Amino acid sequence: MRRKLMAGALAFVMAGSLVACGGGEKKAASEGESKEAATTAQSGESKSGESKSGEKKHYKFGYTCMDGTNPFFVTIQDKIKELVEANGDELIVTDPGNDVTKQISQVEDMLSQNLDGLFMNPVDAQGIIPALDLAKDAGVPMVGFDTEVGDMSYLVSYTGSDNYNAGKVVGEDLVKKAPNGGKIIVLDSPTMQSVVDRTNGFMDAIKDHGFEVVAQQDAKGNLQVAMGIAEDLLQSNPDVVAIFGGNDPTALGALAAANAAGIKNCMIYGVDGSPDIKSELASGNSLIEGTGAQSPVSIAEKAVKIMYDYVEGKQVEERYPVETFLITSDNVAKYGTDGWQ
């Protein structure tokens, strides 16, 4: 029976959707400066990014994110690559496929290729620490994006969505639409700090408003995992008024399970603002009720600017937050469904 449900559900939901899953003090290139200074002395390059002969310095950067097949991260990767290559520089891209051990190995391999900087998005906030130690020892500056690492002091700077607010605006919308409260399911991902922040924002928003969390499980930010979990939970809790997914792929997995089970009165929320979720909202006949939207394009652009500023000796802030906001059927037309905002 479960295989039939999953097969039917997968046909309904686009298989390409997966996870998505802060100003502070200024930092200048200090630790990384020693590495750059040595390189400069050997190559005759100046700190302004030009050699003594007037030629522009060429940089080599590394890139790692938790899941390179996730449309959210595909957008970030493509934009970073576009901007780096437009500057005449090189970006080495790796994909650990949500395996932190593999991510550590890939980072080690990239570091052996004499990187000037590393764009970092961890599979596991704590589990990635050994890779951060390797980069620190190598004097390679890291710019974090979208998901925080367990110890932010390893990073020269970080840019990402206001994930707490993304969950909060979703929770506030649920409170308005279900004033009497009710049973809800929460599908989170405890190892992904971005999803933890979103879940905290959501839970704080619905607190003391009559909601009962009948189940809270780790969907790993993955559509198929979420679908399987939601399928089981909806069998024992068919009367839930809402499901919160820590990202849009999780929400889409819950949607597939709810549709397969014939659920008609359940509000499903995600976080991302992905084209797939926006298409559901625009359809007018979906259980998807809203999403806490973010902009991967803005995150990528900010991460690249931070990296270049830092390696060229400019001061950077510790954090650069990117706005999040609610998208529902009421305003989805403003953002369109063809791409990311």
Three-state SS for 254-318 is HHHHHHHCCCCCCEEEEEECCHHHHHHHHHCCCCEEEEEECCHHHHHHHHHHHHHHHHCCCCEEC
Which pLDDT score is estimated for 70?
Answer: 86
**Region 2-15+163-294+327-335: CATH code:** 3.40.50.2300
What span, in angstroms and rounded, lies between the C-alpha atoms of 337 and 271? Answer: 15
Cα separations (Å) of 125 from 158, 190, 266?
14, 10, 32
What DSSP designation does 128 have? T
Question: Which bin fits 16, alpha (ψ -120 to 50), beta or left (φ > 0)?
Answer: alpha
- In the chain, list all ranges with CATH 3.40.50.2300: 2-15+163-294+327-335, 26-160+296-322
Which pLDDT score is estimated for 290?
Answer: 98
Q: Where does residue 195 rank: exposed (0-12), middle (13-18), buried (19+ CB within 10 A)? A: buried
CATH class of 26-160+296-322: alpha beta
What percent of the chain is helix, strand and coil (3-state, nearest 5)? 45, 20, 35
Instruction: Please give the torsion angle defined by the CA atoms of residues 146, 152, 156 and 158, in that order, rounded to the nearest 10 degrees.
Output: 20
Q: What angle do CA 79, 148, 65 make, to 5 degrees?
A: 40
Which segments of 162-247 does DSSP mark as H helices, in order? Answer: 163-177, 193-206, 223-236
What DSSP designation does 161 have? E
Which pLDDT score is estimated for 334?
Answer: 95
Q: Name the packing angle between helices 129-138 and 100-111 (round to 10°).
A: 10
DSSP H or E stretch at residue 216: strand 211-218
pLDDT digit string (tens) for the chain, length 341 residues:
443 334 444 444 443 443 444 334 445 554 444 334 333 333 334 444 555 556 788 999 999 999 998 889 999 999 999 999 999 999 999 999 999 999 999 999 999 999 999 999 999 999 999 999 999 999 999 999 999 999 999 999 999 999 999 999 999 999 999 999 999 999 999 988 899 999 999 999 999 999 999 999 999 999 999 999 999 999 999 999 999 999 999 999 999 999 999 999 999 999 999 999 999 999 999 999 999 999 999 999 999 999 999 999 999 999 999 999 999 999 999 999 999 98
Backbone angles phi, psi at 98, to 5 degrees: 65, 25
Which pLDDT score is estimated for 18?
Answer: 39
Which pLDDT score is estimated for 341?
Answer: 86
Which pLDDT score is estimated for 55?
Answer: 74
